[in-house]
Structure 1
């Protein structure tokens, strides 16, 4: 298949390497503007506001598309693209990095439905350049991770912002799902140091992940009622490569991407529920 990469030349080189390493990719086209003719798929490396319009154009022309950018939050536009993609049989993938990290891919093989998900993320204030968009993007990514392991609808949202003067510096969030599973997130931009932990639990198994180090602990109780812990480490450098492999595989097999248009719509609907409650209590 022929895959086009659209973006600035300084950003396309590594993506070209990832593509050329895949057996199903016969040709790679590099361009500074969208390519629709004689291509099977298009990787768009673009953060401009117009990026969803480019995705929509690809879908309308029957071109599978992978958008590498911050997650867009325009829900009406995403819902429109979702309908078009469904009608056209086109795969639309987004660069939600938590979905493609090696630790997450490994965790999904062990846990398909978490009963309790707990996330704590702290960023040191000295290294955080604050804006509403970047703040939102941090917790948006984490909700996307949560939804991958909680497939039922959200029944209840409890969201409380943390303010210093008029600046939002943290978020305490609890999500209760229709199947009675639960997820919580504590996020702060005034941590003493970088800290990012995700814990997923079922009745038989717990996975505790140090996200920054990509270090996982698999915790179980053995037949003798003793806690058993097995550790596994991953290389985070493989995340982008993994995402490209998934995109090409989704085109080749017709299966849904690990984080596609359906997941993006579901995530932004949840995002809007949380933001709505934050506006009420701010």
Structure 2
């Protein structure tokens, strides 16, 4: 396959290093503009601009399988346009939702395929929060996308509690989701914490998983042979491998003609749920 990378040269070269080792890749073309990409089978679009969905739509309409490496876009109308265009053009889409693509998350999703419960606790040191490039919405949307992708079902009930001062900036959010399957998800975000803490917990009838996201370690608890005692196994993962593994997932999806790990359908469902949550926020 010939793969094009569209974006700044320094970032493009880093991604090229992830693609080159794969036997399925015969050539990598780096350019800053879509019109210069030439005859390729797929492209990586490295774009954090406000125009990234418009550029992605152009690439899709030209028939390229696309991997958009950026913060998740959340404009529902534009996301749906890209999704439907990809379906019509029979091309694959992948989006860089790193909580889903991280090695720890992928390992967890293989152990617990259909969680009955997911709980996310993300406490952000208030100084780190002020210095961050992200606003409050980024944090809860990122975790919402993670829960929706893993549970992979329709949401039929949303409950929401927030803390804000003078009705302006949010500092704390507790979001509860109940799915048609009976599964539930709790998301707690605190942007005024003394210390940073980030855990994702999930369970089904066989396992309990507790991921320390900052350390990229997972504690797996299971009960064996009907004994009361829980057996604990700890796994540690290398978060720096996320981009490499994401590239491999994208290439495998093209070769096997199967949906990507985080695709247009997942993003459309996310934008629908974001709209529901924001309606609740406007009344909070």
Match status 1:31 vs 2:35: no
2:6–2:44 CA contact under 8 A, matched in 1:
yes
SS at match of 2:122: strand
Aligned match of 1:233 in 236, 239, 254? 236
User: What is aligned with 2:17?
Assistant: 17
User: What is aligned with 2:101?
Assistant: 100
1:36–1:63 CA contact under 8 A, matched in 2:
no
Shift of 1:127: 1.2
SS at match of 2:135: helix
Shift of 1:258: 0.4
1:124–1:193 CA contact under 8 A, matched in 2:
yes
Distance in 1 (CA, whole Å) between partners of 2:275 and 2:122 is 21
Distance in 2 (CA, whole Å) between partners of 1:49 and 1:109 is 35
User: What is aligned with 2:257?
Assistant: 254
Shift of 1:101: 0.4
User: What is aligned with 2:86?
Assistant: 85
CA RMSD of aligned residues (A): 1.5
Distance in 2 (CA, whole Å) between partners of 1:67 and 1:39 is 16
SS at match of 2:130: coil
2:29–2:37 CA contact under 8 A, matched in 1:
no
Shift of 1:268: 1.2
CA deviations on 1:207-252 (whole Å, 9 max, x unpaired) are 1100111100110112222111111000000011111111111111
How do 1:33-48 residues align onto structure 2 when only pairs under 5 Å count?
33-34=33-34, 35-48=36-49
**TM-score normalised by L of structure 2:** 0.95
Runs of 4+ in 1 over 4 A off after TM superposition: 130-133
How do 1:107-146 residues align onto structure 2 when only pairs under 5 Å count?
107-129=108-130, 134-146=135-147
Which ranges in structure 1 are unaligned for 5 or more consecutive residues?
none
Aligned match of 2:203 in 183, 201, 226? 201
Number of aligned residue pairs: give it.
281
Which ranges in structure 2 are unaligned for 5 or more consecutive residues?
none
Shift of 1:119: 0.5
Match status 1:219 vs 2:221: yes
User: What is aligned with 1:58?
Assistant: 59
SS at match of 2:38: coil
1:36–1:61 CA contact under 8 A, matched in 2:
no
Distance in 1 (CA, whole Å) between partners of 2:96 and 2:120 is 20
Match status 1:3 vs 2:3: yes
Distance in 1 (CA, whole Å) between partners of 2:127 and 2:134 is 18
User: What is aligned with 1:274?
Assistant: 277
SS at match of 2:209: strand
